[in-house]
Structures are given as C-alpha cells and as structure tokens.
Amino acid sequence: MTQTRSFPELAVSNLSDTLRRLPFVRPLPQAPDYPAIAAVQSYWDGLRGRRTAPARAEIDPRPLAEALDVLFVAELVAPGVARLRLCGQHFSDLLGMEPRGMPLSVFFAPAARGDLAAALAQVAQGVRATLPVRSDKALGRPGVDGMLALMPLADQQGAITRILGVLETHGQIGRTPRHFRLMAPVSTQQPAPRPQGTPVLTLIQGGRD
C-alpha cells in the first residue's frame, strides 16, 4: 500500500476512527459548554469521512460562521510548533494585538509550552485533541477557563501540514495578554502499536487542576 509521508514523517491513510481526547479530567458539576468547539468538530468529522483528516482546501468558512471569532488555522512549521495563519477576533482580544504569524504557544504560559508541543506533535500524526485550559486570576485579570480543540488538516499530497483549531473561553478577559496553562499534563511517551497503524494519544492520570 502506498504511503504518504506527513509532518513529522508519518503516514496518512484511510483509517478507522482515530479520535482521542487529551488529556482526561473528571467532569465537574455545572461545567461550561463549548458550542463552537462542538460545531467545528462535527463539521471537521463530516468532511473527513473515513480519512485521517480532511484537506485544508475543503474548509469552507460559511458553515462555520457562528464560530469564526474563536477559530484559527495554523501551519505545522517544526515538530511541536504551529504558526497561526488565520484567526478570529477573539485571539486579538486575548493577546492585545494581532497574533497572525505568531506561534500558537504565544497564548500559553512558559511552563505549559512543552505540553502544548507534545499535543501538537501527536495531532501531526492525525489525532484530534481536546485540551482544557485555564488562565489564572491576577490583578486586573479575572480567571478564565477554556477549551482548546486541535484538528489535523492535510495538504494536496495528503500530508498533515495544517491544524484547524478552536480556543473557546468563558470569563472576562481583563488586562492583556492572557496566557493559559493546561489543566492536566500531556504524555510524550510513544504509544503502543495499534491495528492498521491507528494513532492514539497517551495520557497521564491525576493532572494539575
């Protein structure tokens, strides 16, 4: 079977369901809803069919009109590094400036950037990730909880080179810039082999709150 090499040098093929959630946290009472993430994930899943990921060229912003404010497209430019190419107004509001051309890690505290890089590296393998995040309360900065969703996108050759993402938050932004941390750690351990090469995200139980 012919394989298409992706970034970083991993095959993209028609796989069975590869969706995994990263990381796991116990559900909390009255947890906030994330309707934009649900809508974009449903749209992405419908486009991909039985493929690992839909093509970047297939993304039509019109069905995503209600989520455009919190939506972004990033390019995988190095292992664990994604640079923002398109993003909604919410990202400028969080950063206090135009973030296009910057790495996604600009929205994360330094201590969380290694975990983000590990998640991005696994998304580059064709796995969708959903990560709970938090920006802690500080002077002039109310606490903000959110969810980061990362979905792989393929280029014309079938290689995963882009990410369709959503960063949906709850709470007042306050003084900018706002930086987030993950609410649980990400494992960078190599996953065990699975049938048909299905990628999987590995998690560590008992993460940070």
Q: Mean pLDDT lowest for which of 16-20, 48-52, 88-92? A: 16-20
Task: Let me know: does 154 contact 160? Beta carbons within 8 Å.
Answer: yes
pLDDT in tens, 171-185: 888 788 999 998 864
Q: Answer with the residue of higher pLDDT: 24 or 140.
A: 140
pLDDT band for position 68 (cuts 50, 70, 90): very high
Domain map of the chain by residue range?
34-190
* Of residues 199 and 177, more confidently modeled: 177
Residue 26 has pLDDT above 50, yes or no: no
Average pLDDT over residues 66-81: 95
**What is the pLDDT, as a whole number, of residue 66?**
92
- % of the chain residues with pLDDT over 90: 52
* Beta partners for residue 12, in sequence order: 4
Residue 105 pLDDT greater than 70, yes or no: yes
Q: Is the pLDDT of residue 209 over 80?
A: no
Secondary structure (3-state) at 8: coil
Q: Full-prediction pTM beyond 0.85?
A: no
As a whole-number percent, the residues of the chain with pLDDT over 70 amount to 72
**CATH fold of 34-190, please?**
Beta-Lactamase (3.30.450)
Digit-coded pLDDT (tens) for 31-45? 568 999 999 999 999
149 or 201, higher pLDDT:
149
Q: How many angstroms from the chain centroid is the CA of residue 26?
A: 20
Q: For the residues 2-29, what does the mean pLDDT come to?
A: 41
As a residue count, the chain comes to 209
Distance of CA 114 to the CA centre of its chain: 14
Q: How far is CA 162 from CA 6, 9, 92, 120, 207, in A?
A: 11, 14, 20, 10, 28
Residue/partner pairs of 49-52 with CB below 8 Å, 24 or more apart: 50/14, 50/15, 50/16, 51/12, 51/14, 51/15, 51/154, 52/12, 52/13, 52/14, 52/15, 52/18, 52/126, 52/152, 52/154, 52/160
Q: What's the average model confidence in pLDDT over 62-80?
A: 95
What is the chain's mean pLDDT, rounded?
78
pLDDT at 195: 38
- Report how far residue 13's alpha carbon sits from residue 135's, in angstroms, rounded to the nearest whole number: 37
